[in-house]
Structure 1
Amino acid sequence: MKPAALFSLFIFAVAASAEDGFTSLFNGKDLTGWDGDPKLWKVENGEVIGTCTGPDAMPNNSFLIWRGGQVKDFELHATVRVEGDNNSGIQYRSRELPEVAPWVITGYQIDIHPAIEHTGMTYEEKGRGIFGLNGTNVMLDTSGALWKLSEHEPVKVDVSQWNEYTIIARGNHLVHKINGKVTSELTDYDVSKRALAGLLAIQLHRGNANSVHIKDLRLKVLPVTEPQSFDPAKLPAGAVKIEKPRTKSPQGTGPVVPPTKK
């Protein structure tokens, strides 16, 4: 396709997204508006690509951070795939940890993970860990205890293929979807530890060689809503307190090789 035709398609996509309230966060040409380690991130053929070459490449997970402002209540759609036996994710309502390293983030994340139980889960990077695996609706009460409210069939996808990941954040209620199907929901009543605003970022995971590819990322700002108040009398029938899930697959589905210490 000729450059003029590609530019016309890009303009059409921007116009269409503006009509439905979404704004494209990538211009299709470069990383304008984003901030990350230039050794790790690039734009090629209209895709944003982050690459980890192996266990010695990165001491920490590194993030491409959107500098367009903080996100509060919003709906976000991203079309993503991951090559290699590792995972990625989209951070939101997050904050930087400059004391650890540049471009290191902590906060809520939707995982893009080859292990089905983890992809689309609700999670907090460098924080409280996993909340709800793929197929669960969970809540954290005011003391931080985790409750499972309901279960459903996990959404099964191949993360090496293009899939659309959706985050809907309203107050303290967070919904994750893949290809339009809900993977996990979290209602966070833990006032001292939850976040209602923060940064948006894309994760590049250290360890096993991998690359994350993003070809579409659109944001719709929603009216800010008040967080729901916790009422134990309104817990659904069958709600049960659970231990926080742990993982046997911190990177991908294969062996984890620790980085070489220098």
Structure 2
Amino acid sequence: MTYCVGMVLDKGLVLMSDTRTNSGVDNISVFRKMFYWQVPGDRMISVMTAGNLATTQAVIGQLEERTKAPEDRDNVLLKAGTMFQVATEIGKLLRSTVQATQSSNGEKGKGRFTASIILAGQIAGMEPRLFLIYPEGNFIEASFDTPFFQIGETKYGRPILIRGYDREMSFEDAVKLLMVSFDSTLKANLSVGLPLDLLVLGRDSFEPVHERRIMADDPYFTAISSSWGDALRNAFHALPDYSFEPPE
């Protein structure tokens, strides 16, 4: 399992993903799930992946055409005219890859090779955009009503995002909110794990505003985890007491 979040702000886009993959409690590995490509002054495009590792790596490999010599590669992400076209192309690749892996595995393997992708980025002259691409290849776009997307193990961190999100918040506050969301997920589910990858994309910057890998001994993340736990306990004790006695 995994956990990835993409968030739209007035200032740009903020992305965070974990790096844990596992096939049981005795087979845990670290793999990058966040990738990005850029053309200075023209575009900045990032994807985050969740699901079967072989499937997602195959999609990334096809996007970069890794089977070709470097001089012969022609990344479709760097040629598409709009982010919608990028989402369409990634959707086609994802659908065909999922279908191919399921077909080769036979009927009994259905559902084991699904994957989903968060696509984020901006092309010059257009707005920053965020998409959620499903295994079937179709996709939806973030909006004012749905300003962030999650993939993977979403349920533990979602309440934090719903209560804390503000489209006008600063990048720094957005990162803090995501760290709380990830800490809550890490505490509740062993299939999500450190290190975490963080990427901040500013509006019209076409390069990372901030990029960082958060390790297990990261002092800020450790402080966030400890402070959030203390704040929850204090908030709990500050709530009105429940009584077994009937009200007077």
Shorter-chain TM-score range: 0.3 to 0.5
Larger Rg: 2
- The structure where helix makes up a greater share of residues is 2
Normalization by structure 2: what TM-score? 0.33
